[in-house]
A and B are shown apart, each in its own frame.
Chain A
């Protein structure tokens, strides 16, 4: 199980934050991810306008 973000692709738009149902993401200078809150549901990766987020469920 893993959640990752490619900071070279990320535009810091916060689109992923707006769809996260568990408040596991926050937009500061970069996207901050809280693994304790994340359920790896993957909506952040789906919403991302540029394919910056990868979620691997196992």
Chain B
């Protein structure tokens, strides 16, 4: 019997598994994808500071080094927010495998192409194992704790804890990886517009000189991201002239952080618990924090031989204290910005200091933003939401 089974070999799952293995526990990670890291799930951006959590990211995982973000107002004017530490656009297919390999080096076992169809509970209602399938063979495997790090797109989190993403709290996204795209390569490009991308934004994340992830996320509605993307590419021939090398899609949680993430012998972490930054939809860093934190709590519980819901709920307490309350503030920022018209957004990009923008995405200095918005009497009540 394993100490822990982790479902999902994304950044949350393998970060959790690596730490548990380092702490001396037997861990097995299952991932349903034939290739870990593929298909990629996102724009592939990450801040350099994430290396404090991950260790140094090898060069082979990095497609482009980034100095900062260029934020475009709907009227085309822009400002450059330069990061003190910079960031990377990753090659997720290489990065995710590197992360998985690090967990294996620490002593964990990882197995791709393994579909987990169900969770096993004992007569006390404790989660004690999984039912799975690997290359046509059905199997059951037992563990003291099951970690569900499947990402949002799995019914296991719903079956175990009733967790799902409310439809209005995801952004529906489409992304093309494109070649022959002309943008400044060492900045990520963010286009704001309540018309071109309602509630969300368009991103262009360069992966080298003329290659980029071009994506768009919007509030779910009848008109689909694909239709919005067509319009954006027509308006921006410097991007639209490119060729499509890869198509990705998905729904990214932009809120709805889960109050309770544990049950007897069970922990939910990463995007499966909606642990995503609600303003930009970035989830890698939150996944790693969440996975490592879950591992710390599970370590303590296994040492005390108590994996009850009560014992594991230390994870709820810790995560909400360290991340949840902070991400709630970021969610308020997202709720505020989505109420602004294109003309409001134009004025806002004009009035903001570049150095403030990075702070806003971290949930800091929101009163500065509120003050800027309050210059317009019409926006006073909207701005109060930030205070």
Contact A18 B248, beta carbon cutoff 8 Å:
no
Do B170 and A13 touch across chains, with their CB atoms under 8 A apart?
no
Contact, CB under 8 Å: B167 / A47: yes
A50 lies within 8 A of chain B by Cβ: yes
The secondary-structure label for the interface of chain A is loop
Residue of A11, A21, A28, A51 near B164 (CB, 8 A) is A21
Complex-state Cα separation, A22 to B226, whole angstroms = 27
Contact digits for A11-37, partner B, Cβ 8 Å, 1 yes 0 no:
101111111111111111000000000
Docked Cα-Cα span, A43 to B243, in Å, equals 32
Which of B32, B220, B226 contacts A47 (CB under 8 A)?
B220
Question: Are the CB atoms of B248 and A46 closer together than 8 Å?
Answer: no
Report the minimum CB–CB distance from B232 to chain A (whole Å).
Answer: 14
A50 touches B166 (CB 8 A): no
B346 CB within 8 Å of chain A:
no
Residues of A within 8 A of B152 (CB): 14, 17-18
- B154 interface contact, C-beta 8 A: yes
Instruction: Give the complex CA separation of A19 and B153 in angstroms.
Output: 8
CB-based contact B115/A28 at 8 Å: yes
Taking CB atoms, residues of chain B closer than 8 Å to A22 are: 158
Establish whether residues A19 and B158, one from each chain, have CB atoms under 8 Å apart when the complex forms.
no
Nearest residue (CB) in B for A20 is B164
Interface residues on B, range: 20 to 34
In the complex the two chains form, what is the Cα distance from A26 to B115 in whole Å?
11
Q: Pick from B155, B173, B174, B225: contact of A20, CB below 8 A.
A: B155
Given the complex, which residues of B lie within 8 Å of A48, measured CB to CB?
172, 224
Chain B residues with Cβ below 8 Å from A19 are: 164-167, 170, 220, 251
**A47–B158 CB distance below 8 A:** no
Task: List A contacts of B165 (CB < 8 A).
Answer: 18-19
Residues of A within 8 A of B222 (CB): 46
Tell me which residues across on chain B come within 8 A of A28, comparing CB atoms: 32, 115
- Which chain B residues have a beta carbon within 8 Å of chain A's beta carbons? 32, 115, 151-155, 158-159, 164-167, 170, 172-174, 220-222, 224-226, 247-251, 253
A interface, CB within 8 angstroms of B = 11, 13-28, 43, 46-51
Given A43-B167, A50-B174: 6 more A-B contacts, CB < 8 Å: A13-B153, A13-B250, A18-B151, A26-B155, A43-B220, A47-B251
